[in-house]
Amino acid sequence: MKFTSTKENMLSGINTVQKAISSKGAIPVLTGIYLKTEKNRLTFAATDLEIGITCTEPVQVLEEGHVVVPAHFFAEIVRRLPNTNLMFTYDDETVSLKIEYDQAETNIKCWRGEEFPGIASLEDGKMFTINPTVFKSLVKQTGFCANIGDPRPIFTGALMEVEDNNLTMVSTDSHRLAVKTCKVDNLTAENFKMIVPVKSLNEISRILKDDNEDVLTIRCNDRQVSFECKDVRLLSRLVDGTFPNYRQVIPAEYSILMKAKKKHLQESIDRASLFVPERDGSSVLRFNLSDGNLNIVSKSEYGMVNENIPVYTEGGELSILFNAKYLTDAFKNMDFDDLDVKLGGPLSPAVFRPLNDESFLYLLLPLRG
């Protein structure tokens, strides 16, 4: 294998696949990046057997071949190289990759390309396409509710439910719930659903470019899901299990309605969060809602905040406790300005929606007084 490339293209490929590199040394070759040259394209691939990522970058191929380079050393040496034309040559006898630049060279010990397990392609199963920017917004507004470190796998994933040409994404950690619906092009003549690790959703969102005009193609079977867009593909295992019935926990009725500007509420909560008391690992924030006014109160041994925000209200008065962090997380990820909040009582779930928009909701369980 022999090719020339720019430093920029090499770093682009490395950065795209880096999160799929195994951090464990049980299978040494999985701590590397697979490189393959073919038709003036260089393929980068990495997998930890839970998630696999491949991408391609343009290079000038002088000799086709493949190799697995140790990710840490390869990434660090490329980052330190000068911005000049780089020549890469693989020597099968010494199983090493030589990098030539200016009047210098470096050599890295490698693994043979045949040792890499490969990343399968999904050719069958169900499939739909979606605008990448819309998909990134979907993940941003729902994925934060999952708990990636939860020992219960079902709460580390997000439900993706396709019905006709609508996609609904849902995530929850059993204390909060986010639901977002958008339009897709369902290429399968049936409805289906799957639970995708939020770690994988966050990773494909990171990789997708903000100005991407291509479509994102999502395919799945009973065990895996793939995300493909232009020169990038991510393959992930699905979460096995039954997702909670999220529709069942959304209240059908409410007794109090509040309309408010998200910015005003978010800024007040940010200030109040400085002095929220901790209780059982939760940061406790009190809302006192009365006619046309929301009073936000926090108090600890270090200080206190007591703020009043003019809001629109319907219904009676209410005093309710929330986990301040869960409110802050939600407001950071909402991409709208006007809030419609429905409340049923001090122990009933609160439902936050954008004004006059049924495509999103955030449900938060209150804390007991």
CATH number of the domain enclosing 350: 3.10.150.10
> Is there a single domain that holds both residue 12 and residue 103?
yes
Q: Are residues 198 and 232 in the same domain?
A: yes
Q: Which of 203, 195, 205, 132 is nearest to 161 (CA)?
A: 195
Whole-angstrom CA distances from 196 to 91, 155, 170, 236 are 40, 10, 10, 8
Indicate whether 136 and 196 sit together in one domain: yes
**Res. 6: pLDDT tops 70:** yes
Domain boundary among 246, 264, 296: 246
Q: Look at the chain and report how many structural domains it folds into.
A: 3
Q: Are residues 335 and 307 in the same domain?
A: yes
Map tokens 């890469």 to a residue: 88
User: Tens of pLDDT along 192-224?
Assistant: 999 999 999 999 999 998 776 789 999 999 999
- For residue 280, pLDDT beyond 70: no
Listed residues 211, 246, 281: the one ending a domain: 246
* Cα–Cα distance for residue pair 194/218, rounded to 1 Å: 11
Domain span at residue 49 reads 2-115
Query: pLDDT exceeding 90 applies to what percent of the chain?
Result: 89
Same domain? For 233 and 265 the reply is no
Q: How far apart are CA 27 and CA 33, in angstroms?
A: 13
Report yes or no on 268 lying in a domain.
Answer: yes
Per-residue model confidence (pLDDT) at position 213:
76
Q: Are 234 and 218 in contact (CB under 8 A)?
A: no
pLDDT at residue number 144: 97
Q: What confidence score (pLDDT) does residue 270 get?
A: 94
Q: Where are the alpha helices (DSSP H) in the chain?
A: 7-17, 71-80, 132-142, 198-207, 246-249, 262-272, 324-333
Residues 267 and 332 in one domain: yes
Asked whether residue 294 is assigned to any structural domain, the reply reads yes
Domain ends where: 95, 115, 135?
A: 115
Whether residues 132 and 231 share a domain: the answer is: yes
